[in-house]
Structure 1
Amino acid sequence: MYRFRPRVLVDVSNIDMSTSMLGYPISAPIMIAPTAMHKLAHPKGEIATAKAAAACNTIMIVSFMSTCTIEEVASSCNAVRFLQIYVYKRRDVTAQIVKRAEKAGFKAIVLTVDVPRLGRREADIKNKMISPQLKNFEGLVSTEVRPNEGSGVEAFASSAFDASLSWKDIEWLRSITKLPILVKGLLTREDALKAVEAGVDGIVVSNHGARQLDYSPATITVLEEVVHAVKGRIPVLLDGGVRRGTDVFKALALGAQAVLIGRPIVYGLAAKGEDGVKKVIDMLKNEFEITMALSGCPTIDDVTRNHVRTENERIKSML
């Protein structure tokens, strides 16, 4: 657990939370993580989420498994958007979606790499979860898989996702798009080094919402390992477990350039649509601003590793 080491008698009369990601300015280092099927939470789905992102001046990463099309989301507002993708066994499906995203003005591709197979999601199995037909794939593949037993989502993923995906496929992805490529789902130093060697443009430290592999670490506990491996060569983002502005501050102190918010966004969307998503982001920004002020950090650049420490570090400092 990380505790704060605040600085006092610092002029914090003007707090500047603004930063940028891949050159795109955002109001705070808080971005919207890719989460699937927003229409299950609200009738306006990803369009409502995108409009909230635009209003809050942040970046939305639209899920490959969205319930609104890429084009619908792109035409709804002027938010900066990245597209999260999986690589399908039918590479032409992935290639078509990527090209559509590029044409629609998306600014980056976020490749999820921690789902060679779907984890055992027992709630989905018990509920016999069925994915609706996702509009991005109309005329390409059917996502409405209905097995006799278990999860339809798992059955679809097993039939569609390419389990042979490897680091050499980054080169294939580069061959079909000029957009920057981030990889999402890394938890180790070894994979961070491979990502840098593969020439990706950013890393998202993520355990897929702790839904893929039991006993995977909390992302905050491995963030520094990845940051140290990367050595500032590419941006590192943190995904997972961010629920307070204090969590955002900790992530930045440990070397992340920004955090991604998933579940809280969907909660806000379900509660009150676009306004609910804006409320969630505004709450996090407000908490983060207060944390910066109380820690003696008027700007993002002032947040350093010296502002947090573990109990072991505290004890060692006294020896």
Structure 2
Amino acid sequence: MSHFAQYQDGVYADATNGDLPRLPYHHEALRDLAEKAMEPGPFGYVEGSAGRERTADANVAAFARYALRPRSLRPGAENAGDLGVTLFGERYPTPLLTAPVGVLEQVHGEAELAVARGANALGVPMVLSTAASTPMEEVAEAADTWWYQLYWPGDDALAESFVRRATAAGAKAIVVTADTKRLGWRPRDLALGHLPFLRSQGMANYFSDPEFRSRLKADPEPGGVFTEAVFHFLGAFASRSLSTDNIARIRDWTDLPVLVKGVVRGDEAIELVEAGVDGLVVSNHGGRQVDNAVAALDALPEVVEAVGDRAAVLFDSGVRSGADVAVAMALGARAVLLGRPWVYGLAVDGAAGVEHVLRAVLAELQITAELMGRDAADLDRDDVTRR
């Protein structure tokens, strides 16, 4: 069994020698440090959400509506607290993954390579964004375990190229994001005119792709503005006609597990399972796409009930702590993707900042599971109630 919980013992021991933690443990305090470390445009891009940001606020607030129900005297509870989970036949030491976040070069110079090092230290898989700042093959060399997130482009041949590259490079799964046929209405970005793609940021997987490059008259210019490559990217970024039919085509391109991310309805979950997907990620993109949408956590029980045991259900959106992870797992999530918290750790302290955030979340999760008398994978609806 992993002993992430022992991390807090080390923190207290170090403190007796006057060595206090360099970074805070509350998300809000870390976010404030990140705001000081980042330029206004990049910070607004990460922190901001759609419209009046009601969905993002609802994601966080939803966790307060669900209360854990500890049972300390549960038989066998003295051995509880293991965080290991099995996903698609693979055993993982924890149920945590880093959510796909694009354009990390605007957060830290080492971008995805720093995320990989921070995640590797704890055995946490990273989910690599299509809009990464580092080509997937380079990330594959740095990351111990990684999944590939696909923004399905308008060009199906490019989608196929991305999936085949990820498979060849050693990805463990393909995660298709379905809720981004176009960018949501994001007032913070609009107010600053900040769209990093127009500065050729977040395009490493495109500029390194032979299918994408074959469409260009000249080689892309890294760092260039309004190049031919940028215009081609803007036209190809997302497919407006993405459907279950498209997703079923991935089976011709890879034998990896296929998940669809951005599901908040039971009826759509059923359609996707019938189309043959292996997993779903209940998510509203952290509130970045549709304002006033349902909180992802409130949608989780509906999707879990609709799917049953026919596909693995994962979760993201609004997670800020290990206790939040425990709530999501008790409501049926098999694993949880964490987003903004580790991005702020990256901004403040690079790979060490990512590791700090992940380690703190896992320590709290393991302590919570032990006090619940459960292994993380065994948390269920009996362990949570709606307030």
TM-score (norm 2): 0.74
- Give the counterpart letter for 2:342 in structure 1: I
CA RMSD of aligned residues (A): 2.2
Give me the whole-angstrom Cα distance separating, in 1, the residues matched to 2:70 and 2:81: 15
Q: Which has the higher contact order (CA 8 A, sep 6+)?
A: 2
Conservation of the 8 A alpha-carbon contact between 1:15 and 1:289: yes
**Gap runs ≥5 in structure 2:** 1-64, 214-219
Work out which of the residue numbers 187, 198, 222 in structure 1 matches 2:275. 198
1:167 aligns with 2:244: yes
Aligned to 1:6: 70
Tell me if structure 2 keeps the 8 A contact 1:145–1:156.
no
Letter matched to residue 136 of structure 1: N
Partner of 2:128: 62
**How many angstroms apart in 2 are the aligned matches of 1:172 and 1:225?**
27
Letter in 2 for 1:137: Y
1:259 is aligned to 2:336:
yes
Q: Which stretch shifts more, 23-32 or 195-204?
A: 23-32
Cα 1:272–1:53, aligned 2, differ >3 Å: closer, same or farther?
same
Q: Confirm or deny: 8 A CA contact 2:108 2:350 kept in the other structure.
A: yes
1:155: Cα distance to partner?
A: 11
User: Corresponding residue for 2:386?
Assistant: 310
Q: Percent identity?
A: 39
Paired residue for 2:365, among 282, 285, 288? 288
Q: Does the aligned pair in 2 maintain the 1:118–1:158 contact within 8 Å? A: no
Contact 1:253 1:304 in 2 (8 A): yes
Question: In the alignment, what sits opposite 1:16?
Answer: 82
1:113–1:185 Cα contact (<8 Å) kept: yes
Task: Give 1:27's aligned residue.
Answer: 93
> Relative to structure 1, is the Cα distance of residues 146 and 122 closer, same or farther in structure 2, using a 3 angstrom cutoff?
farther
Query: Equivalent residues in 2 for 1:146-185 (5 A)?
Result: 157=234, 160-185=237-262
One-letter code of the match for 1:26? Y
Matched, 1:48 2:124: no
Corresponding residue of 1:107: 172
Deviation string, structure 1 residues 161-189 (Cα, Å, up to 9, x no partner) = 11011111122222222221100000000
User: What residue is the counterpart of 2:19 in the other structure?
Assistant: none
**Alpha-carbon distance in 1 for matches of 2:86, 2:351:** 23
TM-score, length-normalised on structure 1?
0.89
Q: Give the distance between the partners of 1:284 and 1:296, measured in 2 at CA.
A: 18
Give yes or no for contact 1:145–1:155 (8 Å, CA) kept in 2: no
Count of matched residue pairs: 304
Aligned counterpart for 2:140 among listed residues 74, 82, 85: 74
Give the CA deviation at 1:156: 5.8
Deviation at 1:8, TM superposition (A): 2.2
CA drift of 1:157 comes to: 5.0
Residues 239 and 254 of structure 1: is their aligned pair in 2 closer, same or farther, counting only changes over 3 Å?
same
Q: Could you tell me which runs of 5 or more consecutive residues in structure 1 were left unpaired when the two chains were aligned.
A: 148-152, 312-319
**Pairwise CA distance, 1:97:** 1.6
Alpha-carbon distance, 1:15 to partner: 2.5
Distance 1:268 1:213 in 2: 26
* Rounded Cα–Cα distance in structure 2 between residues aligned with 1:26 and 1:229: 26
Of 353, 365, 376, the match for 1:276: 353
Kept after mapping to 2: 8 A contact 1:109/1:182: yes
Match of 2:299 in 1: 222
